[in-house]
Each structure stands twice: as C-alpha cells, then as structure tokens.
C-alpha cells in the first residue's frame, strides 16, 4: 500500500462521510496528483469496514490506457451496465479523472436514474460542474475540493518516516517541497522530489491547460504562467503582464492574458483572490492576487522559495484557509492592505503574514494594519518568530503553531 494511505485525510472524510450511501453523486475535484485517487481508496476502505463486499465495487481510472476505449458516454454506460448485471444489490461506482470521458455527465446521470448505485467521481478541472453539466445532474451532486497536504498532514507523515527530526526541520522541508502526497514515497529526498514535482507541473500545464483549451501558442502560455508564479501574493493587473510581454517583443491582448490565467485557475494551478474595501465592504474589480495550489511546484519549476519566503508563508496560510472552508479576500483600508479576511458563515478572521518581526518599525507596520478595524473578530499577525509579540488584543502566532491550531478563534 502506498505511503499516502498512511494519512487518513480525516478533514475530507469527515465532510464526505455523511453522503456515503446516498443517491447524491459525490464529486471530488482538485489539482492533478493532490490525492483524489487516495480519497477513493479511503472511501472503499470505509465501505468494506462497514460490511460492503468488494465485489459490489466497479472502478475505472481514465488515465489508464486500458480504459481508452471507454472515453465516450455511450461506451462507458454499456460497460458499467454489463458489469452491474452480474452484481446483486447496491453497486458502488468509482470514476477517476472523469473529465477524460466525452459527455460523461449524461452517462453518470443515466446510471444514477436507472440502477441502485452509489457514485463517486474525481476530476482535475474546476469547470467540471459548470453550466450545462450541473444542469444535467440537476443539483443531485455534492462537491468536495481536495488539496495537497496541509502542514499538519505533512508533519504527521514526515515524522512517521523520520521520527527523530525537530518541527523546525520539518517546516523547512515543507517550505521547499510543499504537500504533494506522493513525495512520501520518495522519502522527501530533494532531487527525485524536484523531478517528480516538475513532471506534475508539466502534466498540469500540458493536459489540463494546453490540451483542454486547445492552446497553440505554448511559448506565450509559458511566459504568462512564469510571470504569475514569480509574482504570487503580489497585487498586479493583467496589463502589467501585457507590458512585460511587450518588453519581450510579444504583443498580446489583455483579454488573452486573462483567459490564459483563467485556464490555469480552472486546472487548480492558481487561485485568484479578490480585494475588498473594508469600509465600503465592496469587492474591488482591479488588481487581484494569485496564489499557487502547491508552493513545492513553485520551488521545482521557478526556484527562490527561500528568497521569497514572505510570499511563500502567505501562500501556505492562504491554502490552509481554503482547506478550513473559508472564503478569502484581501482587505483594503485606505492605503493599508490586510493580507487575508477569512469568512465562514458568521465567523470572520483577519490574518496578516510576515517573515520576521525583526524591528519596532516592522512590528508597528504589521500590527498597525488593524488600527482602523474596530470589530471583535480575531485578528492575527503570523510570522516565524518564536517569541510572542501579541498586544492590544491582536494575537501573534508562530506560523508552525498557527497551522496546527484546531480552531482560529
């Protein structure tokens, strides 16, 4: 059994468990290689433990060439119906990387209607359930986004392999390698890990961006993606990329730049964060920020994670906020900017991230961000400092401790 199974990924199982056995289609999406197939394995394990025999399972992985002849809705439907005819009782269907099947939603909906089944599907595209697809399934699905390992998952797995290392050493590894689950199988050794991450990145760009969106100018896409990777966590407009490309003698419309970035967002390579005017509570339409699904991919293909550590720490906190189910915006208050306003139902958390509170000036700047915010929601300043600089109700936390906290309150 692969090392990724050592982590039970309880954060996700807790959310999925109430829907196991129901007639809603369970859809898991996320960047390629983030552990979606592992989730299918964990669900199968739970079903077996609850007494469902494995003979009730029908599973397909559409990245497997042996299933290439099943990549149309009709062919897949025939195959499933044939196999299911030999099974009595409820059938459990698992479809991995379903986006490879043309018109897959028609097949899935038909199976859902015509047989007693429990359906689980995974896909590497955020548009999997957009528009028409959602209409065909008629709201009879529930979606879960799966992310690469959190720091909590990473440290658990790393210490399984290297029990004697300190938390600081583990965090340094996490800063460089990120949270792609398969790295545990490589024992987190730097060179093979970097090679693996480079291959994952190329696979995402080629399969989930170029091929899916029929992009012909791969050189242009590469330049745009490299620009965004180099500027994660930095506010910029598409026009700044257009100017950058003009300097490189590539003339391109701003709309094309935005489309290319959007394709990468749909492939879960990047996440876009809007800015919010705190006073007026309105979302500002210009100059978004982007973060990467996995900062280890950035180190592998672009390098400089330690040089840009401030941005990497932001990236880690942003992804952790997503994992915890928050909706996140960047807060703008006059000339000041709060890194993250995280909201979930009636909860709100403000988070400011910095590398080190190395001087009084830095402390004043990072804590002073909150001067104009007078509500009672938790306000954090996160850094790598070991000393506690909390003051005036603003909580300072070391980032390692913050990422392992059960609740941010």
pLDDT of residue 6: 59
Residue 141 lies in a domain: yes
Reported as a single tens digit per residue, the pLDDT across 95-129 is: 999 999 999 999 999 999 999 999 999 999 988 87
Does a structural domain hold residue 409?
A: no
Q: In the structure, what pLDDT confidence band is assigned to residue 139 with cuts at 50, 70 and 90?
A: confident
What confidence tens digit (pLDDT) does each residue in 368-389 have? 999 989 999 999 999 999 999 9
pLDDT digits (tens, 9 = 90+) for 250-268: 889 999 999 999 999 999 9
Considering the domain architecture, whether residues 267 and 380 belong to the same structural domain is answered as yes
179 with 291, same domain: the answer is yes
pLDDT at position 5 over 80: no
- As beta bridge partners, residue 92 has 57, 118
Do residues 15 and 118 share a domain? yes
Q: Please indicate, yes or no, whether residues 302 and 268 belong to a single structural domain of this protein.
A: yes
Instruction: Write down the pTM of the prediction.
Output: 0.95
Question: Shortest CA distance to 289 belongs to which of 317, 323, 315, 256?
Answer: 315
Q: Is residue 64 part of a domain?
A: yes
Task: Looking at the structure, tell me whether residues 59 and 173 fall in a common domain.
Answer: no
Q: Please check whether residue 63 lies inside any domain of the structure.
A: yes
Report yes or no on 326 lying in a domain. yes
Residue 381 lies in a domain: yes
From 87, 115, 145, give the residue that closes a domain.
145
Residue 174's nearest CA partner among 353, 393, 384, 395 is 384
Taking the CA atoms of residue 118, residue 122, residue 125 and residue 130 in that order, the dihedral angle to the nearest 10 degrees is 0
Domain count, the chain: 2
The Cα 161–Cα 308 span in angstroms is: 29
Are residue 29 and residue 85 in the same domain, yes or no? Answer: yes
CB atoms within 10 A of CB 79: 16
Look at residue 168 and tell me if it is in a domain. yes
Q: What is the per-residue pLDDT across 174-233, written as a single tens digit (0 to 9) for each?
A: 999 999 999 999 999 999 999 999 999 999 999 999 999 999 999 999 999 999 999 999
**What domain range is 166 assigned to?**
151-404
CA gap 125, 119 in Å, rounded: 18
What average pLDDT does the segment 155-160 reach?
A: 95
- pLDDT digit string, tens, across residues 332-379: 888 889 999 999 999 999 999 999 999 999 999 999 999 989 999 999
Both 391 and 370 in a single domain? yes
Binning pLDDT at 50, 70 and 90, where does residue 28 land?
very high
Mean residue pLDDT of the chain comes to: 94
- In this prediction, residue 49 has a pLDDT band, given cuts at 50, 70 and 90, of very high
Predicted local confidence at residue 278, as pLDDT? 84
Q: What is the pLDDT, as a whole number, of residue 287?
A: 77
The stretch 26-39 carries a mean pLDDT of: 96
Beta-ladder partners of 338: 331
Q: How confident is the model at residue 4 (pLDDT cuts 50, 70, 90)?
A: very low
């Amino acid at each position: 059994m692969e090392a990724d199974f050592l982590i039970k990924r309880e954060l996700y199982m807790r959310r999925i468990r109430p829907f196991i056995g129901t007639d809603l289609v369970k859809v898991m999406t996320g960047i390629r290689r983030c552990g979606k197939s592992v989730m299918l394995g964990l669900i199968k394990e739970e079903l077996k433990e609850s007494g469902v025999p494995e003979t009730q399972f029908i599973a397909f992985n559409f990245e497997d060439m042996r299933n290439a002849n099943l990549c149309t809705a009709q062919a897949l439907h025939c195959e499933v119906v044939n196999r299911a005819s030999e099974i009595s009782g409820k059938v459990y269907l698992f479809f991995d990387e379903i986006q490879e099947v043309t018109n897959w939603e028609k097949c899935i909906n038909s199976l859902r209607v015509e047989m007693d089944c429990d359906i689980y599907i995974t896909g590497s595209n955020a548009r999997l359930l957009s528009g028409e697809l959602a209409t065909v399934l008629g709201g009879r699905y529930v979606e879960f986004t799966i992310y690469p390992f959190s720091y909590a998952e990473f440290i658990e797995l790393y210490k399984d392999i290297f029990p004697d290392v300190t938390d600081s050493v583990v965090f340094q590894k996490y800063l460089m390698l990120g949270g792609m689950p398969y790295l545990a199988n490589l024992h987190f050794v730097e060179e093979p890990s970097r090679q693996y991450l480079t291959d994952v990145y190329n696979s995402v760009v080629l399969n989930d961006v170029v091929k899916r969106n029929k992009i012909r100018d791969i050189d242009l896409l590469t330049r745009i993606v490299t620009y965004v990777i180099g500027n994660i966590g930095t506010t910029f407009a598409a026009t700044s990329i257009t100017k950058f490309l003009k300097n490189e003698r590539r003339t391109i419309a701003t709309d094309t730049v935005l489309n290319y970035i959007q394709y990468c967002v749909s492939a879960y390579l990047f996440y876009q964060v809007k800015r919010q005017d705190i006073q007026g509570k309105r979302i500002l339409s210009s100059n978004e920020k982007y973060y990467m699904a996995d900062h280890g991919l950035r180190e592998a293909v672009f390098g400089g994670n330690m040089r840009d550590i401030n941005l990497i720490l932001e990236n880690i906190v942003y992804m952790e906020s997503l994992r915890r189910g928050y909706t996140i915006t960047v807060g703008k208050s006059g000339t000041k900017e709060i890194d993250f306003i995280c909201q979930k139902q009636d909860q709100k958390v403000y988070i400011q991230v910095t590398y080190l509170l190395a001087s009084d000036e830095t402390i004043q700047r990072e804590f002073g961000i909150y001067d104009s915010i007078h509500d009672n929601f938790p306000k954090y300043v996160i850094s790598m400092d070991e000393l506690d600089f909390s003051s005036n109700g603003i909580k300072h936390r070391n980032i390692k401790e913050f990422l392992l906290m059960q609740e941010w309150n």
